[in-house]
Amino acid sequence: MLTIALSKGRILEQTLPLLKKAGLEIADEELNSRKLILDTNLDDVKVIVIRATDVPVFVQHGAADMGITGKDVLLEHGANGLFELLDLGIAKCKLMVAAIDKNKLEQNTLKIATKYVNSAKRYFETKGQQIEIIKLYGAMELAPVVGLAHCIVDLVDTGNTLKANGLVPLEHIEDISSRLIVNAALFKTKNAQIKTWVKGIEQNL
């Protein structure tokens, strides 16, 4: 049995057509049910649909053999016990530093609002800049406007949300897209089965 962990939301919507081309289908009644483990058209493949941030945890600990999640999540997780096999080229965006204007970044100690704590720390360490991280889970764009932080580190797609809140993207940290990951230990024991799936998906990218 092969278990694949899929991320909810936008990533799932863009993943399903790729899996279908590779021969894996999940019926609408399964997707719309309250079941946590979903049946597929293949007897030896099950799917779980969970939060993107939980995908690497499930894969790392062997609760899922493979998973699909964003590079932003993997950068935060650290990818211990995982192999990143494929860049699927879906759910693309950029991890960026944004503020009201560039002058806001010129601080002795820069206050940064973000949920991407590890990525922000790594980026500003390379610049030798002293920072204070304020961890938020939402409403990131509000932080510089109300004086909670000088800037934010967040995902940027169209940039419309930033613009609507008077912010501009200033520094590019990382290009983000969804990646196919596998449990490092299970990659050895289920190598043939996993490689078959990887090849099937890769051929349809």
DSSP for 131-151?
EEEEE-SS-TTHHHHTTS-SE
Query: Which of 60-64, 117-121, 143-147, 186-190 shows the lowest mean pLDDT across its residues?
Result: 186-190
Q: Does domain 2-91+177-202 have CATH number 3.40.190.10?
A: yes
- The continuous run of DSSP H or E covering 202 comes out as helix 191-202
Position 114 pLDDT exceeds 90: yes
pLDDT at 175: 97
pLDDT at 204: 83
Q: What is the pTM of this model?
A: 0.92
Position 30 pLDDT exceeds 90: yes
- Which of 133, 128, 125 is closest to 152 using CA atoms? 133
Q: What would the mean pLDDT of 69-98 be, rounded to a whole number?
A: 95
Q: Does domain 93-175 have CATH number 1.10.3720.10?
A: no
Q: What would the mean pLDDT of 165-192 be, rounded to a whole number?
A: 95
pLDDT at 79: 78
Alpha carbon separation from 47 to 119, 179, 193 (Å, rounded): 29, 16, 15
pLDDT at 145: 95
> Rounded CA gap, 196 and 174, in Å?
30
Region of residue 128 (left: phi > 0; alpha: psi -120 to 50; beta: else) = left
State the amino acid at position 51 in one-letter form: R
Tell me if domain 2-91+177-202 and domain 93-175 are identical in fold.
yes
Sign of CA dihedral 196, 200, 203, 205: negative
pLDDT at 205: 82
116 secondary structure, DSSP code: -
Q: What would the mean pLDDT of 150-154 be, rounded to a whole number?
A: 98
- Which of 8, 14, 21 is closest to 52 using CA atoms? 8
**Domain extents for the chain?**
2-91+177-202, 93-175
